[in-house]
Structure 1
Protein backbone atom coordinates (compact mmCIF):
# COMPACT_ATOMS: atom_id res chain seq x y z
CA UNK A 1 0.00 0.00 0.00
CA UNK A 2 1.12 3.52 -0.74
CA UNK A 3 0.24 6.61 1.29
CA UNK A 4 -0.94 9.52 -0.90
CA UNK A 5 -1.43 13.10 0.33
CA UNK A 6 -3.93 15.24 -1.57
CA UNK A 7 -3.59 18.99 -2.01
CA UNK A 8 -6.15 19.51 0.78
CA UNK A 9 -3.96 17.55 3.20
CA UNK A 10 -6.17 14.44 3.25
CA UNK A 11 -4.24 11.19 3.00
CA UNK A 12 -5.30 7.77 1.76
CA UNK A 13 -3.58 4.43 1.46
CA UNK A 14 -4.06 2.61 -1.82
CA UNK A 15 -2.27 0.03 -3.90
CA UNK A 16 -2.58 2.20 -7.02
CA UNK A 17 -3.94 5.76 -6.94
CA UNK A 18 -4.96 5.71 -10.59
CA UNK A 19 -6.91 2.47 -10.14
CA UNK A 20 -8.65 3.92 -7.07
CA UNK A 21 -9.57 7.11 -8.96
CA UNK A 22 -10.67 5.54 -12.24
CA UNK A 23 -12.78 2.89 -10.49
CA UNK A 24 -14.51 5.41 -8.23
CA UNK A 25 -13.04 4.10 -4.95
CA UNK A 26 -11.63 7.60 -4.44
CA UNK A 27 -13.55 10.61 -5.72
CA UNK A 28 -11.16 13.22 -7.10
CA UNK A 29 -11.55 16.73 -5.71
CA UNK A 30 -14.18 18.41 -7.84
CA UNK A 31 -15.24 15.13 -9.41
CA UNK A 32 -14.57 13.55 -12.78
CA UNK A 33 -13.97 16.08 -15.56
CA UNK A 34 -14.50 13.63 -18.43
CA UNK A 35 -14.85 9.87 -18.69
CA UNK A 36 -14.95 7.45 -21.60
CA UNK A 37 -14.96 3.68 -21.83
CA UNK A 38 -11.16 3.71 -21.69
CA UNK A 39 -10.07 6.91 -19.91
CA UNK A 40 -10.78 9.05 -16.87
CA UNK A 41 -9.86 12.74 -16.62
CA UNK A 42 -9.70 14.65 -13.36
CA UNK A 43 -7.98 17.56 -11.69
CA UNK A 44 -4.67 16.45 -10.22
CA UNK A 45 -5.37 15.52 -6.59
CA UNK A 46 -1.96 16.57 -5.28
CA UNK A 47 -1.35 20.00 -6.83
CA UNK A 48 -3.96 22.81 -6.74
CA UNK A 49 -3.24 24.43 -10.11
CA UNK A 50 -6.32 25.49 -12.04
CA UNK A 51 -6.76 23.24 -15.06
CA UNK A 52 -4.03 20.71 -14.20
CA UNK A 53 -5.63 17.59 -15.64
CA UNK A 54 -4.64 13.95 -15.35
CA UNK A 55 -5.82 11.67 -18.14
CA UNK A 56 -5.57 8.10 -16.85
CA UNK A 57 -6.30 4.81 -18.53
CA UNK A 58 -8.91 2.70 -16.83
CA UNK A 59 -6.89 -0.44 -17.45
CA UNK A 60 -3.86 -0.96 -15.24
CA UNK A 61 -1.10 -0.76 -17.81
CA UNK A 62 2.17 1.15 -17.68
CA UNK A 63 3.28 1.81 -21.24
CA UNK A 64 1.84 3.57 -24.27
CA UNK A 65 2.55 0.53 -26.43
CA UNK A 66 0.25 -1.58 -24.23
CA UNK A 67 -2.80 0.38 -25.37
CA UNK A 68 -5.12 -1.51 -27.68
CA UNK A 69 -6.15 0.22 -30.93
CA UNK A 70 -9.46 1.47 -29.51
CA UNK A 71 -7.64 2.96 -26.51
CA UNK A 72 -5.09 4.69 -28.75
CA UNK A 73 -7.84 6.32 -30.78
CA UNK A 74 -9.78 7.31 -27.68
CA UNK A 75 -6.64 8.67 -26.01
CA UNK A 76 -5.87 11.10 -28.83
CA UNK A 77 -9.51 12.19 -29.13
CA UNK A 78 -9.89 12.74 -25.38
CA UNK A 79 -6.52 14.47 -25.04
CA UNK A 80 -7.44 16.84 -27.89
CA UNK A 81 -10.88 17.50 -26.44
CA UNK A 82 -9.41 18.27 -23.01
CA UNK A 83 -6.79 20.59 -24.48
CA UNK A 84 -9.38 22.48 -26.52
CA UNK A 85 -11.50 22.95 -23.39
CA UNK A 86 -8.48 24.17 -21.41
CA UNK A 87 -7.94 26.83 -24.09
CA UNK A 88 -11.59 27.72 -24.79
CA UNK A 89 -12.97 27.56 -21.25
CA UNK A 90 -10.00 28.51 -19.06
CA UNK A 91 -7.92 30.56 -21.51
CA UNK A 92 -4.87 28.33 -21.06
CA UNK A 93 -2.50 29.07 -23.95
CA UNK A 94 0.37 26.69 -23.13
CA UNK A 95 0.52 23.26 -21.54
CA UNK A 96 3.28 20.84 -20.59
CA UNK A 97 2.39 17.21 -21.26
CA UNK A 98 4.07 14.52 -19.16
CA UNK A 99 3.86 10.79 -19.50
CA UNK A 100 6.41 8.52 -17.90
CA UNK A 101 6.71 4.78 -17.62
CA UNK A 102 8.60 4.60 -14.34
CA UNK A 103 5.70 5.82 -12.27
CA UNK A 104 4.23 3.81 -9.43
CA UNK A 105 0.79 4.43 -10.92
CA UNK A 106 -0.47 3.17 -14.18
CA UNK A 107 -0.62 4.86 -17.58
CA UNK A 108 -1.55 8.51 -17.29
CA UNK A 109 -0.70 11.84 -18.86
CA UNK A 110 -0.33 15.09 -16.94
CA UNK A 111 -1.56 18.25 -18.65
CA UNK A 112 0.19 21.02 -16.71
CA UNK A 113 -0.91 24.54 -17.72
CA UNK A 114 1.45 27.51 -17.85
CA UNK A 115 0.33 30.71 -16.16
CA UNK A 116 2.11 34.05 -15.86
CA UNK A 117 2.89 33.36 -12.18
CA UNK A 118 4.89 30.31 -13.29
CA UNK A 119 7.38 32.42 -15.27
CA UNK A 120 9.42 33.14 -12.13
CA UNK A 121 10.30 29.41 -12.07
CA UNK A 122 11.60 29.48 -15.64
CA UNK A 123 10.32 28.16 -18.95
CA UNK A 124 12.22 24.90 -19.21
CA UNK A 125 10.83 21.50 -18.34
CA UNK A 126 12.98 21.56 -15.18
CA UNK A 127 10.77 24.36 -13.87
CA UNK A 128 7.71 22.13 -13.57
CA UNK A 129 8.68 20.27 -10.39
CA UNK A 130 9.33 23.50 -8.43
CA UNK A 131 5.99 24.84 -9.76
CA UNK A 132 4.14 21.75 -8.53
CA UNK A 133 5.78 21.94 -5.10
CA UNK A 134 5.04 25.65 -4.88
CA UNK A 135 1.39 24.94 -5.66
CA UNK A 136 1.16 22.18 -3.07
CA UNK A 137 2.85 24.28 -0.38
CA UNK A 138 1.45 27.73 -1.12
CA UNK A 139 -1.79 27.55 -3.11
CA UNK A 140 -4.07 25.67 -0.74
CA UNK A 141 -5.79 28.84 0.44
CA UNK A 142 -9.55 29.22 0.10
CA UNK A 143 -9.35 31.74 -2.74
CA UNK A 144 -7.20 29.54 -4.99
CA UNK A 145 -9.12 26.39 -4.13
CA UNK A 146 -12.38 28.13 -5.10
CA UNK A 147 -10.78 29.03 -8.45
CA UNK A 148 -9.61 25.44 -8.95
CA UNK A 149 -13.08 24.07 -8.12
CA UNK A 150 -14.75 26.62 -10.42
CA UNK A 151 -12.36 25.61 -13.22
CA UNK A 152 -13.17 21.92 -12.70
CA UNK A 153 -16.87 22.73 -12.81
CA UNK A 154 -16.50 24.82 -15.99
CA UNK A 155 -14.43 22.16 -17.75
CA UNK A 156 -16.81 19.40 -16.69
CA UNK A 157 -19.85 21.28 -17.98
CA UNK A 158 -18.17 22.18 -21.27
CA UNK A 159 -16.89 18.65 -21.89
CA UNK A 160 -20.09 16.83 -20.99
CA UNK A 161 -22.69 18.80 -22.98
Structure 2
Protein backbone atom coordinates (compact mmCIF):
# COMPACT_ATOMS: atom_id res chain seq x y z
CA UNK A 1 0.00 0.00 0.00
CA UNK A 2 1.11 3.54 -0.78
CA UNK A 3 0.12 6.76 0.96
CA UNK A 4 -0.76 9.49 -1.53
CA UNK A 5 -1.62 13.09 -0.70
CA UNK A 6 -4.31 14.51 -2.97
CA UNK A 7 -4.47 18.14 -4.06
CA UNK A 8 -7.32 18.70 -1.60
CA UNK A 9 -4.95 17.74 1.24
CA UNK A 10 -6.53 14.36 1.96
CA UNK A 11 -4.24 11.36 2.24
CA UNK A 12 -5.31 7.99 0.87
CA UNK A 13 -3.70 4.60 1.14
CA UNK A 14 -4.04 2.42 -1.97
CA UNK A 15 -2.15 -0.22 -3.86
CA UNK A 16 -2.84 1.40 -7.24
CA UNK A 17 -4.19 4.95 -7.45
CA UNK A 18 -5.42 4.46 -11.02
CA UNK A 19 -7.39 1.34 -10.06
CA UNK A 20 -8.90 3.20 -7.10
CA UNK A 21 -9.94 6.11 -9.32
CA UNK A 22 -11.26 4.17 -12.30
CA UNK A 23 -13.25 1.81 -10.05
CA UNK A 24 -14.80 4.66 -8.07
CA UNK A 25 -13.10 3.74 -4.78
CA UNK A 26 -11.63 7.26 -4.74
CA UNK A 27 -13.59 10.14 -6.21
CA UNK A 28 -11.34 12.75 -7.83
CA UNK A 29 -12.23 16.41 -7.26
CA UNK A 30 -15.05 17.20 -9.63
CA UNK A 31 -15.75 13.55 -10.38
CA UNK A 32 -15.34 11.79 -13.70
CA UNK A 33 -14.78 14.20 -16.60
CA UNK A 34 -15.30 11.66 -19.37
CA UNK A 35 -15.56 7.90 -19.56
CA UNK A 36 -15.54 5.29 -22.30
CA UNK A 37 -15.79 1.53 -22.19
CA UNK A 38 -12.04 1.23 -21.61
CA UNK A 39 -10.90 4.62 -20.24
CA UNK A 40 -11.61 7.05 -17.44
CA UNK A 41 -10.70 10.76 -17.56
CA UNK A 42 -10.40 12.90 -14.44
CA UNK A 43 -8.64 15.97 -13.08
CA UNK A 44 -5.22 15.09 -11.77
CA UNK A 45 -5.66 14.46 -8.04
CA UNK A 46 -2.27 15.82 -6.99
CA UNK A 47 -1.84 19.04 -9.00
CA UNK A 48 -4.50 21.78 -9.04
CA UNK A 49 -4.11 23.05 -12.60
CA UNK A 50 -7.15 23.94 -14.69
CA UNK A 51 -7.69 21.40 -17.43
CA UNK A 52 -4.95 18.98 -16.35
CA UNK A 53 -6.58 15.71 -17.34
CA UNK A 54 -5.50 12.14 -16.69
CA UNK A 55 -6.76 9.53 -19.14
CA UNK A 56 -6.42 6.14 -17.43
CA UNK A 57 -7.05 2.63 -18.64
CA UNK A 58 -9.74 0.85 -16.66
CA UNK A 59 -7.80 -2.37 -17.09
CA UNK A 60 -4.68 -2.70 -14.94
CA UNK A 61 -1.89 -2.77 -17.50
CA UNK A 62 1.46 -0.97 -17.62
CA UNK A 63 2.34 -0.45 -21.29
CA UNK A 64 0.84 0.94 -24.46
CA UNK A 65 1.61 -2.28 -26.31
CA UNK A 66 -0.60 -4.20 -23.87
CA UNK A 67 -3.72 -2.46 -25.17
CA UNK A 68 -5.98 -4.56 -27.35
CA UNK A 69 -6.88 -3.26 -30.81
CA UNK A 70 -10.24 -2.11 -29.46
CA UNK A 71 -8.61 -0.36 -26.49
CA UNK A 72 -6.05 1.40 -28.74
CA UNK A 73 -8.82 2.82 -30.92
CA UNK A 74 -10.81 3.86 -27.84
CA UNK A 75 -7.66 5.47 -26.36
CA UNK A 76 -6.80 7.61 -29.38
CA UNK A 77 -10.43 8.65 -29.85
CA UNK A 78 -10.77 9.62 -26.18
CA UNK A 79 -7.43 11.44 -26.16
CA UNK A 80 -8.41 13.38 -29.29
CA UNK A 81 -11.84 14.26 -27.94
CA UNK A 82 -10.43 15.53 -24.64
CA UNK A 83 -7.74 17.58 -26.38
CA UNK A 84 -10.29 19.16 -28.71
CA UNK A 85 -12.42 20.10 -25.69
CA UNK A 86 -9.39 21.59 -23.92
CA UNK A 87 -8.73 23.78 -26.97
CA UNK A 88 -12.31 24.77 -27.77
CA UNK A 89 -13.81 25.05 -24.27
CA UNK A 90 -10.86 26.08 -22.07
CA UNK A 91 -8.88 27.90 -24.81
CA UNK A 92 -5.76 25.83 -24.06
CA UNK A 93 -3.39 26.32 -26.98
CA UNK A 94 -0.61 23.96 -25.90
CA UNK A 95 -0.51 20.69 -24.00
CA UNK A 96 2.28 18.37 -22.89
CA UNK A 97 1.36 14.69 -23.11
CA UNK A 98 3.08 12.32 -20.70
CA UNK A 99 2.90 8.59 -20.50
CA UNK A 100 5.52 6.50 -18.77
CA UNK A 101 5.89 2.86 -17.92
CA UNK A 102 8.05 3.48 -14.86
CA UNK A 103 5.19 4.18 -12.50
CA UNK A 104 3.43 2.61 -9.56
CA UNK A 105 0.08 3.28 -11.25
CA UNK A 106 -1.17 1.55 -14.31
CA UNK A 107 -1.42 2.85 -17.88
CA UNK A 108 -2.41 6.50 -17.99
CA UNK A 109 -1.60 9.62 -19.97
CA UNK A 110 -1.34 13.13 -18.59
CA UNK A 111 -2.60 16.05 -20.68
CA UNK A 112 -0.78 18.97 -19.03
CA UNK A 113 -1.88 22.39 -20.33
CA UNK A 114 0.43 25.37 -20.74
CA UNK A 115 -0.61 28.69 -19.21
CA UNK A 116 1.08 32.09 -19.15
CA UNK A 117 1.96 31.75 -15.45
CA UNK A 118 4.08 28.70 -16.31
CA UNK A 119 6.50 30.64 -18.53
CA UNK A 120 8.74 31.54 -15.59
CA UNK A 121 9.68 27.84 -15.45
CA UNK A 122 10.62 27.66 -19.14
CA UNK A 123 8.93 26.19 -22.19
CA UNK A 124 10.30 22.69 -22.44
CA UNK A 125 9.57 19.27 -21.07
CA UNK A 126 12.04 20.05 -18.26
CA UNK A 127 9.75 22.83 -17.05
CA UNK A 128 6.84 20.54 -16.31
CA UNK A 129 8.05 19.14 -12.97
CA UNK A 130 8.70 22.59 -11.47
CA UNK A 131 5.28 23.72 -12.78
CA UNK A 132 3.56 20.76 -11.12
CA UNK A 133 5.36 21.33 -7.82
CA UNK A 134 4.55 25.04 -7.94
CA UNK A 135 0.89 24.20 -8.48
CA UNK A 136 0.84 21.75 -5.57
CA UNK A 137 2.71 24.07 -3.20
CA UNK A 138 1.39 27.51 -4.18
CA UNK A 139 -1.91 27.14 -6.08
CA UNK A 140 -3.90 25.23 -3.45
CA UNK A 141 -6.08 28.26 -2.75
CA UNK A 142 -9.85 28.51 -2.65
CA UNK A 143 -9.78 30.85 -5.65
CA UNK A 144 -7.70 28.45 -7.75
CA UNK A 145 -9.77 25.47 -6.59
CA UNK A 146 -12.86 27.22 -7.94
CA UNK A 147 -11.11 27.75 -11.30
CA UNK A 148 -10.16 24.06 -11.43
CA UNK A 149 -13.71 23.00 -10.58
CA UNK A 150 -15.14 25.34 -13.23
CA UNK A 151 -12.77 23.87 -15.81
CA UNK A 152 -13.86 20.34 -14.83
CA UNK A 153 -17.53 21.24 -15.22
CA UNK A 154 -16.91 22.95 -18.55
CA UNK A 155 -15.07 19.89 -19.87
CA UNK A 156 -17.75 17.51 -18.56
CA UNK A 157 -20.49 19.51 -20.27
CA UNK A 158 -18.51 19.75 -23.49
CA UNK A 159 -17.70 16.06 -23.61
CA UNK A 160 -21.28 14.80 -23.23
TM-score band, normalised by shorter chain? over 0.9
Q: Distance in 2 between matches of 1:118 and 1:15?
A: 32
Q: Distance in 1 between matches of 2:104 and 2:16?
A: 7
Equivalences, count:
160
Partner of 2:30: 30
Partner of 1:89: 89
Q: Distance in 2 between matches of 1:135 and 1:40?
A: 23
TM normalised by structure 2 equals 0.99
Q: Does 1:55 align with 2:83?
A: no
Deviation, structure 1 residue 59 = 0.2
Q: Distance in 1 between matches of 2:158 and 2:41?
A: 13
Alignment of 1:143-154 (within 5 A): 143-154=143-154
Q: Does 1:69 align with 2:88?
A: no
Partner of 1:18: 18
Deviation, structure 1 residue 141 = 0.5
SS in 2 for 1:48: coil
Structure 2 stretches lacking a partner, 5+ long: none
Partner of 1:103: 103
Q: Distance in 2 between matches of 1:144 and 1:26?
A: 22
Structure 1 stretches lacking a partner, 5+ long: none
Post-superposition Cα deviations, 1:121-145, rounded to whole Å, max 9, x if no partner, equal: 0011010000000000000101100
Q: Distance in 1 between matches of 2:81 and 2:93?
A: 15
Q: Distance in 2 between matches of 1:139 and 1:6?
A: 13
Deviation, structure 1 residue 8 = 1.2
Q: Distance in 1 between matches of 2:88 and 2:43?
A: 17
Q: Distance in 1 between matches of 2:115 and 2:141?
A: 18
SS in 2 for 1:147: helix
Deviation, structure 1 residue 146 = 0.1
